[in-house]
Amino acid sequence: MTPVPPPALPLWWECTPFAYHSFSTVTRETCRALMRRPEIDLTLFPSGVDEFDPGDLPEYASLVAACARNKMTAGRAASGQRPIFVRLGFPLIPFPPPRATWVVYHPWEYTRAAMASVEVMKRAAEVWTTSRFCFEAFVNSGVPAEKIYIIPHGADPDIFRPEGNRATLPTTKPFRFLYVGGTIYRKGLDILLEAYRRAFTSADPVSLIVKDFGGSGIYPFERGAQMVAEFNQNPAHPELIHLPAHRSSAGMAELFRACDVYVSSYRGEGFCLPALEAMACGRPVIVTAGGATDDFVSDKVGWRIPGTFRSAGKTVFNMPIDGETQLFEPDVGVLSELLRNAFEDEAGRRARGVAAAEVARNWTWDVAANKIVVRCQALADSPA
């Protein structure tokens, strides 16, 4: 007789799946990968407002079908198994879901977490986070290490790859640096602009492309347009171009391929997904050393900016911290030298770009889904 496979494990995932912010991107890509796994029966519980209509995008049809409002999932799963309920978002909701095993999926960017978040994480069955940096921040904040598991982000190899179309950019400069992300203090764009100003002048054949989110979504205090306008007031400064409009994943891959080096001089990151996506497109990266990107960025795939940790106070988002939390302060002088070196060292860029694409092949959403399946199976075998 052919053995009957065990019933799929019910996994319930709460987040906003159809928005432009990073939590939504992670939800979409992770859940699409999970839906390819026969061990998992996935149901999505949207918790926010959609920013686009997924019905216009065929690749998201499976996610729409998996939404609870369409799937009619309630109470216990059809298999009779206790569901595993993953909640991704911020701030952390302190109330456990009824009749389910509660998992908090929480990235973080500071060296210590808010006390309110720590209490929520202590109550959950498990805590999933995105990098070794986050793991250590939570342990330092009092979350038991044995309940924290690293579930990294990934890059879709069918989209983010070295081969493919390149975006047309509004510049005649042949060399392009690229920054992607929010323009809040923690992201460190101000550090990059100062280093870029020191490294180059308007006479140099270089451009810095700043792709931000236009002040919408989870970063309501974006200053991208203002920072670019202030920088461009001086005609002696090197070229700086602002691209605030939203781009699809395919459009972002074209943007990465149209540029030569990706730069993120962050003060704090929980993972830094754009750096991984740039690597998957065969582009070397310049990132802060000592942070979350240490998990996948070595000197073989890019350049790392040294610096020191500095106090970020005893509150984050008006939430008290037990003690003092810190952010990293990258060395702007060293970054200026690295920018110049990356521009001048064509052979080094090429070698790092090839190595970056090779490393990124091991960091996909399927790899993340595999780790989640392992954790779900372990939770299913544990007492409620």
- What would the pLDDT profile of 34-88 be if each residue is shown by its tens digit? 999 999 999 999 998 898 999 888 989 999 999 998 886 544 455 568 999 999 9
Tell me, what's the pLDDT at 215? Answer: 47
SS3 292: helix
pLDDT, position 170:
97
Computed over every residue of the chain, the mean pLDDT equals 93
- pLDDT for 195: 98
CA 118/CA 252 separation, integer angstroms = 35
Q: What are 355-376's pLDDT values in tens digits?
A: 999 999 999 999 999 999 999 9
Give me the phi and psi of 258, to 5 degrees please: -80, -10
User: Which residue, among 115, 107, 88, has the nearest Cα to 148 in the 3D structure?
Assistant: 107
Q: What pLDDT score does 75 carry?
A: 45
Superfamily of domain 175-360: Glycogen Phosphorylase B; (3.40.50.2000)
Q: Looking at residue 321, what DSSP letter applies?
A: B
Place 225 in a pLDDT band, splitting at 50, 70 and 90: confident
pLDDT of residue 221: 55
pLDDT at 214: 52
Count the Cβ atoms, other than its own, within 10 Å of residue 346: 11
Phi, then psi, of 155 in degrees rounded to 5: -125, 135
Count CA atoms within 13 Å of residue 270 on its CB side.
20
Give yes or no on whether 9-154+365-380 and 175-360 have one common fold.
Answer: yes
Domain ranges of the chain: 9-154+365-380, 175-360
Q: Give 58's DSSP letter.
A: G
Give the pLDDT score at 150.
98
d(CA 135, CA 73) in angstroms, rounded, equals 33
268, pLDDT greater than 50: yes
Is the pLDDT score of 14 beyond 80?
A: yes
* CATH class belonging to 9-154+365-380: alpha beta
Segment 286-308, tens digit of pLDDT: 999 999 999 999 999 999 999 99
